[in-house]
């Protein structure tokens, strides 16, 4: 399949590109600085652009069969509106180009996943993640849910840069706590698995190791 990846230079993004290519997909990596992508394959194309630029995003999705977004702002930086406005631009572009499938990443602690946090996590997670960052993730989810696309939003816990285990749990009933975590390579695997699955269509499952 031809997949367009937003957030392709991030820690999850690079892993996603690698695994998508290993699976034989054609990949378009949308990035502010494609020079950060040290991968080469005849099936990998890069496109320079900012997700806040509507025209650039529209250009990126043309010809794609599915879009995956792992957009974010690195911890320690103000969250801004990349996740909300960026997602709005991606959805507008996908809708206009009639590309129905959109798979993205939010975070545990948003929406109904909050009710399945342990007592301690419910008290501390909002402080660790930050209220502004949580609001951005909520807004990103709300924009996606309102769309007419065939969306799936995966909600991971704390992400770790460790080799993939090859195993993850995905579900809308998973309970999580302060120690729940996920290797980024397993998040990438879970996102790519969604391309061939409609099990969580228009749902927001949590994904954990």
> How distant is the alpha carbon of residue 161 from its chain centre?
16
- Judged by beta carbon, residue 17 or residue 24, the one nearer ligand NAP is 17
- Judged by beta carbon, residue 24 or residue 157, the one nearer ligand NAP is 157
Of positions 72, 113, 117, 185, contacts ligand NAP by CB under 6 A? 72
Q: Is 52 in the site for ligand NAP (CB under 6 A)?
A: yes
Q: How far is the CB of 98 from ligand NAP (least distance, A)?
A: 23
Q: Is 205 in the site for ligand NAP (CB under 6 A)?
A: no
Q: Is 7 in the site for ligand NAP (CB under 6 A)?
A: yes
- Judged by beta carbon, residue 51 or residue 61, the one nearer ligand NAP is 51
x/- string (CB under 6 A) for ligand NAP, residues 137-176? -------------------x-xx-----------------
Q: How far is the CB of 8 from ligand NAP (least distance, A)?
A: 6
């Amino acid at each position: 399949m031809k997949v367009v990846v937003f957030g392709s230079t991030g820690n999850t993004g690079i892993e996603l590109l690698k695994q998508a290519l290993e699976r034989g997909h054609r990949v378009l990596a949308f990035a502010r600085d494609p020079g950060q992508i040290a991968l080469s394959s005849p099936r990998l194309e890069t496109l320079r652009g900012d997700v806040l630029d509507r025209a650039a995003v529209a250009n990126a999705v043309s010809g794609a069969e599915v879009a995956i977004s792992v957009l974010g702002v690195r911890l320690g930086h103000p969250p801004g509106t990349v996740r909300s406005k960026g997602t709005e631009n991606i959805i507008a572009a996908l809708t206009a180009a009639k590309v129905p499938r959109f798979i993205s990443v939010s975070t545990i602690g948003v929406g109904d996943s909050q009710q399945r946090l342990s007592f301690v996590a419910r008290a501390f997670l909002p402080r660790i993640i930050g209220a502004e960052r949580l609001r951005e993730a909520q807004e990103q989810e709300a924009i996606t849910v309102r769309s007419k696309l065939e969306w799936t939003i995966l909600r991971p816990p704390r992400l770790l840069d460790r080799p993939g285990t090859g195993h993850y749990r995905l579900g809308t009933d998973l309970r999580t706590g302060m120690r729940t975590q996920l290797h980024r390579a397993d998040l990438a695997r879970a996102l790519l698995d969604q391309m061939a699955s409609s099990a969580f269509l228009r749902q927001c499952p949590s994904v954990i190791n």
